[in-house]
Amino acid sequence: MKRRHSLPIRLLYSALSITYPLITIYSYFVFVGKYCILAQAFDCVVVLIYFLIFHLLLIFNLIFYMRILGIDDTSTANRFKGKGVDKKYLEKSFFNPFIYQEIESKKRKMLKKCDVCQTYKPPRAHHCTICNKCFLKYDHHCLFLGVCIAFYNYKFFYLFSLTSIIYNIFVITLLMINLLRNKILKTNPKVHFIMCILSSSIILIFCLKKLIKHSFNISRNETTTEAISLDAFYRGDQGLVYIFQEGLLVTQEEIFDRPVMNPYNLGVTENWLQIFGNEWNTWLLPISTTPGDGINYPKR
């Protein structure tokens, strides 16, 4: 059954999704208008350098932000438009034969179709109740950005978090130095500096938390959804084992070794390459370098 969120919840989600643009616009107003122009008046080369660095960081951050939003047309409904679940086709084309035989021998039902979207649901794809769509290699729905993080935009989300941290540290540091040195003009109220520091700190804490969490997840080749499932399994709760369509959780093997239980864990180095690709000179660029098609994944 289709899950519907109440109007207040939808309004809350909408409000959260515009937090980043609003804070970014405000930080631009404060840093350029209040700091560079009024407080410093571009009176030295150093301020000009700060001005250029600020814009460079902001541009990169905004590019990654826009790339994240580009996932709207990459749901399974778009990818497999008009295609239902052909059992014979799926068995031969998408699933490892050995894994499939194990599943059949243990008579365990696999999830091959989304009951809401009524379309093919590949391994690692999941339905988002907020977007009401299924996404390939679904990680999570980011309320802060108002979009799902999945196969096609995961790299951009990680780099967005990284550039946001650098950008906000840069802004907070310069404004704090200015406050401590008490070099603010009378026409440049301290309240703007303080408010910008506080709002930028919120973004900084959020992105730092996300960066640390997803660095661990990438190292283990786990999505947020899969990590929650494995954590629950090790607590003795098997209610989320359906998250996996492949691996030992599907065959009901109780081996309490996390790297073994996750069939996609290929080792730390290879796990990172599964996100950023093999060409190191493209890792930090706002271009898609994630290998694969979002349907089939290398397994140990």
- Spell out the per-residue pLDDT of the chain, length 300, in tens: 445 567 777 788 888 889 999 999 999 999 998 888 876 666 678 888 999 999 999 999 999 999 999 876 677 767 776 555 444 444 444 555 555 555 544 434 444 788 888 888 899 999 998 888 899 999 999 999 999 999 999 999 999 999 999 999 999 999 998 888 865 555 566 889 999 999 999 999 999 999 999 999 999 999 999 999 999 888 888 788 888 888 877 776 667 778 888 999 999 999 999 999 999 999 999 999 999 988 899 998
Q: What is the pLDDT of residue 92?
A: 47
Q: So what's the pLDDT on residue 191?
A: 87
Sorted by where each begins, the domain ranges of the chain are: 7-282
pTM: 0.85
pLDDT, position 31: 93
Q: What's residue 183's pLDDT?
A: 59
Residue 90 burial class via C-beta count within 10 angstroms: exposed 0-12, middle 13-18, buried 19 and up: middle
pLDDT at res. 108: 40
Q: Which residue has 């804490």 as its token pair?
A: 205
Q: What is the DSSP string of the chain?
A: ------HHHHHHHHHHHTHHHHHHHHHHIIIIIIIIIIISTT-SHHHHHHHHHHHHHHHHHHHHHHHHHGGGG-BHHHHTTT----HHHHHHHTS-HHHHHHHHHTTPPP--B-TTT-SB--TT-EEETTTTEEETT--EEETTTTEEE-TTTHHHHHHHHHHHHHHHHHHHHHHHHHHHHT---TTS-HHHHHHHHHHHHHHHHHHHHHHHHHHHHHHHT--HHHHHHHHHHHTT--TTGGG-SSSTTTTT-----HHHHSTT---HHHHHHHHH-S-GGGTTSSS----S-SS-----
pLDDT of residue 186: 59
Provide Rg for the chain, Cα atoms.
23
